[in-house]
Every structure is written in C-alpha cells, then in structure tokens.
Structure 1
C-alpha cells in the first residue's frame, strides 16, 4: 500500500484538494450547523487536512506504526467548545472517508488501471484508520462536552447562589447581573420554593429540570419556569411566575407528595434572597403527612411566626400546654389530636367528631378537659389564639425531633442550632455529590 501511494502521491494530492473543495461546498449547503459556525475557507482547510491525515495514517499503518490521532482529538475538543452538534461532525468525517476511497481509486486507475487489484487489500486498512480517527474525535468531543456542561452547571449554580443568598460572588456579580445571565428579567413576578431533604420524585414530575426553562403540564398551559439549585439539605427552586398565580407552584408539586415551602411573590431579583428565607420558614410549617404538603407562607403565617422564634415557641409550649404535655402518652396524644382537629374544623365540634370517628359528646368532653388543664377557654378568642399557636409549636417540635431521629439513624450529623432556628447557613458548594431529584436540562 505504501508503494502504491508513493507512486501516485503527486496526483493524489491534487485530487484530494479538489475533493476537499467539493466536500466543503456540500457540507455548507446541507448542514446549517456548519454553515453558521465556519466560513468556506476554514472548513475546506480542515477537510483537506483531515483527508491528508488519513492518507498518512494509512502509510503509517502499512509500516506497523500507530496512527497519529492528536489532530482528531483536538478537532473533537474544538467543535465541542464551539457547540457544533456531534452528529454534524461525524457525518462530515464519514463523508470524508468515502470521498477519500473514491479519490484513491481514481488516482490509481489514472496511474495504472492494472494496479487496481493491488489497492483492494488496503481497503480494510483504510477503514480501520478512518474508524480510529472517528472514534478519537467522538471521544474527545464527548469528554469536552461533559466538562463544558459541568462548567455551565457550576456557573449557573453560582449565579443562583447570588440571587438566593443575597450577596455578590467573588467576581462581584450583583443580583441584577446574575438575573440577566440566567435569562431572568430584573423586575417581574418571582417566588422561591424550598423542598425538604430526602425528597425523591421531582425527576418524574412536571416542571423544569435543575436549570431548565418552561415545562408543559399534563395537557395544560406551560407551567412557570423553575430554576433548581441542588444543595446538601434539599432543593431550592427559583420560580419565574410570569402571569401564573402563586397557587400554580403548589399545583406543580402536589402530585409528587413532597414537603415544600413557598415564599410570597416578589417583584425584583434583588428581593429573592428574602423570598428564600421566607420559603425556608414556610417549609418548617409544612405538614409531615396527610393532605397537601406544600405550604404557602401567606397561608400559614401564625405557624411561621412560631417557627421563626424557636426560643419563644418552646416557652409557648410549656406555658400554655405544659399540663397537657405532662400527661401519659396516650392521654396527651388524644387531647392534642382533638385540639388540632377542632382548630382545623374552624371550631366545629360536629365536624371534628366526624373526622375523629367518635361521638360529638366525646369531643366536647375532651375539649372541656383541655380547658381545665390549661386554664384557657375555647370561647375566648385570645385563649384560642394562644392554644392554636402553642399547638403549632408542639407539632413543629415533634416534627423536628422526628427529623433529627431520622438523620441520626442514617448516620448524619445533627442539625446545627443556627439552622434549627432558621438562621442562614452557608450554601453547599456547587459540586455537591448528591443525586438531583430533577431531570437534567
């Protein structure tokens, strides 16, 4: 094979130059991705170089030497960085292989048609060389694309942190700049949703990926755009509501059964850090089980007030419901459940009895006993407020203890006091090794 190529090298070089012209024209005509990226002169030069490299690879292979693949790898990395689709790149490489074989046969036939049979054994060697070059360009492309995607995720995570934590990053990027780079308007209708740790299933639900755009619901109008930030203690979603009502966030999450807290609507990117803090507070009021588990802050302000003041909440539990909490476990559970159900039923003893599957008189007797133990009257609005807040404090305290026990059983460190009190905790670095519960963008 080496001898044949040496005999036709000068003619082959001329023919390869013509073939590169034809292939460049065809590529620019048929592939918009190439046409948008490269001019004809540059593309023709790269094709010409690729074809000559393949010929040299064939010569080296005939000598028992490895094929030089550095150029192919460099091309794969470059095109990945430029955003050229891999399918376009590989299509041009395959076409180049076919053009090269045709050019070889034409050059040999022009030199000595009787020598064509000597070329046939080189077909396998040529396609092996072309396969090696194609594999090298594809592998380099995929590796570079993966690294590029990681960088993009890191950059986007850092920009989200600027908005959610309210401090410029090390590069001095402000909230307005971060919003612009994320494709968000500086002013609009935004909310923040915080999903509790341990949640699974967001990947299968409606809505956007970790950093994705609008998503279509189940045959309905597109859902709000959500940009998700994965952290070690859960998920944070920055919601661009647009014209959607805040309730649409609950509708988005409801099918997934996850505990989540949702902030009020804010009108500027600079207000998103405050919205994040309020969403985290709302999460602390979300029910552990039963009914909707997505808490909108404005619907749970009394419970949020209790959650925001851990020390006062503890005092409220002890002062208002201390005698009830001192009862044996079953008695305590019965009275607290009855009080919570009565409050949820807006003070209707009949409705509470239906929910508790007992007689109305049973509920009345339990409530009278609770009044005797606490010294509060359920007919006095001030006492009802105290009992409602104290009950919320008991429920939140029990939920916190349950969560702490779960973390301890899983071998996780206990939650720092500052975090339990709702203080801001430093964000988990963008590269946290935790499976995102959202589908990749």
Structure 2
C-alpha cells in the first residue's frame, strides 16, 4: 500500500487541530511518569521537548492527511529530530529516556486517533496504526544514530583533552589547577605483540577504561601500543584491585610501577623513575607484574649512568651475538648464582650451565665467583639494556 485511504486521511485531518493540546499533555502529564524526566531542566521539559512533540505530531498528521504512508517525511523532517537528538546527547539526557518520550508520544497519538474514530472507521484506524508504527521506526532509528554519533564525538573530544593534559604534565609544559597536591604517576609497560592499528586502539581503550574503573574517575593517561603513563591527583598508592583489573585489560605480560610526585612540577621526574624501575626489573628477568623500587634497589643504583658507564657496558661486548650466554648470565645473577635454579629455568643440565659460565669468564675476563666481578657483570647488563632502549 503506497497511500492511505480517504477515510484514513480524513481521520488524521480531524486530529490535527488537537496537536497543541496533545503536545502539552505529553510533556506535562505522560512524560512525568518516565524515570529521570522530572530531573530535566524546566526549559528543556516545557519548551524544547514540547516543541519537538508538537513538531512530531503535526508532521505525522499532516503527512497522513495528505495520503502518504511510507515515504520519508518531506522538507528534512527527520533532520529536525536528529538535531534535537544531538542537543539532548550534548546535555547528557540518557538515551533510554529520550527514546521513551518518542514511544510514549506515539501511544498518546494512537489514543487520540482511537478517540476520534467514528463507527465504521475501524479500517482507517488500522491503516493509521500501521503508518504510525512505520513512522516511529524511522524516527527512532534516526534519533538513536544521531544521539550515539554525538556521544561518540563528545567522548573522543573528552579523551583527547585528557591525553593533551597528560602529555603537557608529563613534559612539564603546563601547570594545571587542582594538581597542587600529590600525584600518583603510574607507568605501564605492555608485553610486546604483533598487532595492527585496530588492535592497538582496542588495547588502549581497554586499559583506559580499566584505569577509570580502578580509580573511580576519568584518569588522564597517555598510552600507546607499548604502554605509557597515567596520572591520578590526590592519590599516593595503587588500590588493592588495580593490578588484577589492569592485567585483565592489558594481558598477563603487563608490568607497572607507581611513583608519587609531590606536585605537578615533579610529574616528569616521577614518570622517569617509574620507567626506570620497570626497565631494570625487566632487564633483571623479574616476572611481569607490579614492580617497586625496593625490589630492585641495588640494580637501580648500578644502572645509573656515570663517567664509567660506557666502559662497564663494554665489558659484555664479547658476548655480542651470543644471546644464549647473555640469557645464562642474566638468569644466573637473578637466581643469586644458584646453578641448579639457573638450569631449571633455562631447561638445561647443571653441567651445561657450568660450561656456559666458564665460557663467559673466558670471553669477558669476569670471574662471577667474586662479588666485585658479579657486581660489574650486573651493572654491565643493566647499562647495556639502557643503551638498547
């Protein structure tokens, strides 16, 4: 059916004079029963939503009176409702409340058509019911799409503002109000992975969502596919559930370290300390997870650059191209020079570990059995990892 019957057109025309009355009834009586409607600003309820209801009623009745059924409303009729949906999204009106006003409004209109129908107009009423359902479907689809588009744009803008704030604070180029007290600076390092841009964006979104959940607020963060930093003003330690929630979002290979800046000006230094803690823990072979300065205190000290750093790092140059020997040295030092523990971790026989250690001594001249040379080897590993990064 491409057009309405004369009887249906006549019924719609008889209801059009009631448009203002029906719109007021919707916004001042029917919508009041919708959850959250009473909390809307008065001007939104009594002016803007009333105008939208009046526009929708008049558009449907005039279109029906003209005999149209499924053809989209002329003169950009849907565009008006899309613009209102953008506005409601920008104001923060919940989508379910917005859509409820449309469905409730359609019910009010249906009741008005039923009341106006005369005996013998049952078929005309059925035609208008079908037309109303079709029109409502088009409007709700357009409204939902526009609302979600606007919400996505708002979220993207807010996210970019947070990233810009985090970048400026980490670079020390901005002083932000409300950041005078302590700031928890969380450094995160994700496990290496081969992935495209879509996977990286999903990872970053998951981690950002997890950060917001852990701290109960929108956390300024600067993240990419390798990790990054998050800044939480007024906090000095991670919540108990933080590691588990963030690991669920980022994967089991997540490493993180939390440091405290006394104020915004100290954020860059605190961020660098966090990066170094994670780097040293990783270079020492520590398992992924949360890392603390006390866990790598000696190693952190040994990894600080100095006038002799280059010469110390060069002690292991003879092991270049021998990752098996480097891995054995790192594991052996991490296991406090326990050859059996080293063998178990590397999947070797203890005699094979002894052979590799002897080969390391032969190539480098370092006797790992002496405290001095063991400390030099550890410092060389740490300084070498710094240069590699």
State the TM-score bracket (shorter-chain normalisation).
0.7 to 0.9
Q: Where do 1:23-34 residues align within 5 Å?
A: 23-34=26-37
Q: C-alpha deviations, 1:353-386, integer Å up to 9, x for none?
A: 776765699859946982895266844x554432
The answer as to 2:272 corresponding to 1:267 is: no
Write the distance in 1 (CA, Å) between the matches of 2:113 and 2:240. Answer: 68
With over 3 angstroms needed to count, the CA separation of the structure-2 counterparts of 1:137 and 1:57, relative to structure 1, is farther
Q: C-alpha deviations, 1:250-270, integer Å up to 9, x for none?
A: 666567332535253223233
Write the distance in 2 (CA, Å) between the matches of 1:384 and 1:247. Answer: 36
Partner of 2:376: 386
The answer as to 2:222 corresponding to 1:229 is: yes
Partner of 1:131: 137
Write the distance in 2 (CA, Å) between the matches of 1:253 and 1:108. Answer: 62
Partner of 1:417: none
Partner of 2:58: 52
Q: Where do 1:106-185 residues align within 5 Å?
A: 106-109=115-118, 113-168=119-174, 174=175, 176-177=176-177, 180=178
Q: C-alpha deviations, 1:2-25, integer Å up to 9, x for none?
A: 865886788634533333233223
Q: Where do 1:355-434 residues align within 5 Å?
A: 363=354, 366=357, 370=361, 374=365, 378-379=369-370, 381-394=371-384, 400=388, 420=389
The answer as to 2:46 corresponding to 1:41 is: yes
Partner of 2:296: 300
With over 3 angstroms needed to count, the CA separation of the structure-2 counterparts of 1:257 and 1:333, relative to structure 1, is same
With over 3 angstroms needed to count, the CA separation of the structure-2 counterparts of 1:166 and 1:265, relative to structure 1, is same
The answer as to 2:267 corresponding to 1:278 is: no
Secondary structure of 1:167's partner?
coil
Write the distance in 2 (CA, Å) between the matches of 1:269 and 1:114. Answer: 77
Unpaired runs of at least 5, structure 2:
none
RMSD: 4.4
Secondary structure of 1:187's partner?
coil
The answer as to 2:212 corresponding to 1:213 is: yes
Write the distance in 1 (CA, Å) between the matches of 2:243 and 2:33. Answer: 47
Whether the aligned pair in 2 keeps the contact of 1:210 and 1:230 (CA below 8 Å) is: no
With over 3 angstroms needed to count, the CA separation of the structure-2 counterparts of 1:247 and 1:4, relative to structure 1, is closer
Whether the aligned pair in 2 keeps the contact of 1:211 and 1:226 (CA below 8 Å) is: no
Displacement after TM superposition at 1:389 (Å) = 0.5
With over 3 angstroms needed to count, the CA separation of the structure-2 counterparts of 1:55 and 1:385, relative to structure 1, is same
Displacement after TM superposition at 1:35 (Å) = 2.1
Partner of 1:238: 231
Q: Where do 1:329-344 residues align within 5 Å?
A: 329=322, 333-334=324-325, 336=326, 339-344=329-334
Secondary structure of 2:164's partner?
helix
Write the distance in 2 (CA, Å) between the matches of 1:20 and 1:321. Answer: 82
Partner of 1:194: 188
Number of aligned residue pairs: give it: 370
With over 3 angstroms needed to count, the CA separation of the structure-2 counterparts of 1:305 and 1:137, relative to structure 1, is same
Whether the aligned pair in 1 keeps the contact of 2:187 and 2:229 (CA below 8 Å) is: yes
Secondary structure of 2:182's partner?
strand
Partner of 1:77: 86
Displacement after TM superposition at 1:190 (Å) = 0.8
Q: C-alpha deviations, 1:198-239, integer Å up to 9, x for none?
A: 45899799x963475333xxxxxx899965432355333335
With over 3 angstroms needed to count, the CA separation of the structure-2 counterparts of 1:366 and 1:86, relative to structure 1, is closer
